[in-house]
Amino acid sequence: MANGLLSHCLKVLKANEASDDFAGNDERAFMLAAIKELAPRDAVERMLAVQMAATHVAMVRAGRWLALADTVEKATAYNSNYTKLARTYTAQMEALRKHRNGGKQTVTVQHVNVEGGGQAIVGNVHNREVAD
């Protein structure tokens, strides 16, 4: 699987982004470092990490095109593409979070104020009806 994922990383890059001849454009080391930093734990996370690295590179590429756009039409198209890629990356981060947490959401309360005469409950609260 590792060889296949490495191949997939390279397929999404333009020739000058995966070549020793264009060191300033080479994205191979970045993609591998990004995947390593995500520390995937299983096959699903490894595939998602490859997608996330590819999406990030595409988003940076789209941002570069947007910065160099010389017409309103190009700027509009590049901005649309950039925005879609940014949303996709955010969705990928959320998918990774959900996969790692088993779909459970966790809320951590950092600070609670209880005014005079008030009461606070810490823990799980269940509403049970009491029969008379």
Q: Which of 58, 22, 52 is nearest to 36 (CA)?
A: 52
With a cut of 90, say whether residue 131 has pLDDT above it: no
pLDDT of residue 109: 77
Query: Per the domain annotation, does 119 fall within a domain?
Result: no
Domain that holds residue 28: 2-101
Residue 109 lies inside a defined structural domain of this protein: no
- Whether pTM > 0.85 for this model: the answer is no
What is the share, in percent, of the chain residues with pLDDT greater than 70? 98
Contact (CB, 8 A) for 33 and 10: no
Average pLDDT over residues 64-72: 97
Residue 95 lies inside a defined structural domain of this protein: yes
**For residue 113, is it within any domain?**
no
Asked, for residue 94, whether it belongs to a domain, the answer is: yes
**Whole-number Å distance between alpha carbons of 85 and 62:** 8
Give a yes or no: residue 62 inside a domain.
yes
Q: How many domains does the chain have?
A: 1
User: What's the mean pLDDT in 52-70?
Assistant: 96
Place of tokens 């996330």: 52
Tell me the average pLDDT across 66-78: 97
Residue 89 placed within a domain: yes
pLDDT digits over 84-110, tens only? 999 999 999 999 999 999 877 777 877
Q: How far apart are CA 97 and CA 28, in angstroms?
A: 25
Domain-located, residue 18: yes
Residue 10's pLDDT is what?
87
- Report residue 130: phi and psi, to 5°: -100, 125
